[in-house]
Amino acid sequence: MTLSRLIYISRPAFPIRAGWLQGPLADILSAGLRNNPENGLTGLLGVERNRFFQILEGDIACLTLTFERIARDKRHFDIRRVTLEPVSRRLFDDWAVAFAMRATLPPGAPAEPDFEAMSAEEILARGQLLRQTGVVAERERIGFCKAS
């Protein structure tokens, strides 16, 4: 197994409201809570007002298959892979979904960052911030990549 990290950004094909877990977003959340841990993937789906970003960690083969599936998903568009690279350790040891909510962001944290201009490291830092301040669902890692 080659432990790797995938980071991508995309735009939702439906309206997003902070804390609103209905319709397509609820379906995405359910699929992630079910599929990612079963495939040995950990990470975070960050939900911003007009953006998704996802950080996934796990076996590179499983990450590649997962990203191919994500790229075909019509619930979002303008999907851009920011990075897929080997890493020495996981920074997220579970899988979670987190909203960027103005009320919970620390003072000085951007409410709506420009993801197009952000580096992989900056998106990773944003993910760690949302993991601390905006989690709405989480699940421990279980299982192994079905691609292995």
Domain count, the chain: 1
Integer Cα distance of 30 and 100 in angstroms: 19
Neighbours of 76 (CB within 10 A): 20
103-129 average pLDDT score: 92
Continuous segment of H or E residues that includes residue 79: strand 76-86
Say if CB 49 and CB 117 are below 8 A apart.
no
Domain with 37, as residue range(s), is: 3-140
Segment 42-88, tens digit of pLDDT:
999 888 878 899 999 999 999 999 999 999 999 999 999 999 999 99
Residue 73 belongs to domain with CATH number: 3.30.70.100
Asked if residue 43 belongs to a domain, the reply is yes
Segment 17-32, tens digit of pLDDT:
655 667 788 888 888 8
pLDDT at 148 over 50: no
CA angle 52, 58, 60 (to 5 degrees): 95
Asked if residue 60 belongs to a domain, the reply is yes
CA angle 36, 37, 42 (to 5 degrees): 75
